[in-house]
Amino acid sequence: MNKTIYFIANWKMNGNCNSIKEIERVVSFYKKKANTNFNKIIFCPPLNLLNYFKKKIKNKLIDFGAQDISKINLDYGPYTGQLSGKMLKDSGANYVIIGHSEKRLFDEDFITIKQKINSAIKSKLKVIFCIGENLLQKKKKLSLKVLKKQISQSLEKKNINKVIIAYEPIWSIGTGILPTNDYLSMIYTKLNIFLKDKYKIKTPIMIYGGSVTSDNVVNLGNISLISGFLIGGASLKSKSFIKIIKNYFI
């Protein structure tokens, strides 16, 4: 059975107005693809570019997301620097990344992440919920325990159908070190069982993030429980991003 494969571009703190050309090239490539029914491309640029990109890219094949959301469950208020779910929706976002390791490092704990997920879903945003273990936790064989705790402490059962779980091993992000297929198969199989058992969901959506390239995506594509990718640096240029999409379907 065909399933949706997600290619999510996390631009982090990169890009400017001229970067829209990179998205336009992806749109041009995607229009030529014979089968786009089961693929989803989502760009998550910095917020200052989101509304501009959304207005300029008039193509339903491409969607947009934000990289963060306020934990404050209000549409508006006296909160300097905060951006509510409603504001993100008004700016063109239909998705939002929450729990990314780079955010956890600075100011996100379980309570904050849970508040952000609830705020996003209240505003009808779909959540890209990042989980991941660091190298020390992996060496101590605590990976699954850490991942399950991150999910159970942050995600309510009622919200599971509006969430994409993005497994991003912290020790792999930006390092070029990719987990083996055996390791990933074990992680995704165990998480699949855990999510089905605890959250009573028939088919959890789980993607992978962590040094995804056009070379290793071929190998990653052999893991059936992976339903797409959260892509960082390789998504900034259309050439490398398109090559990842092409190579996945080889």
Active site residues: 100, 168
CA nearest neighbour of 36 among 5, 1, 63: 5
Q: Distance (Å, rounded) from C-alpha 239 to C-alpha 48?
A: 24
Beta strand 163-167 with 206-209 is parallel
> Which residues are CB-neighbours of 221 under 8 A, at least 6 positions away?
248, 249, 250
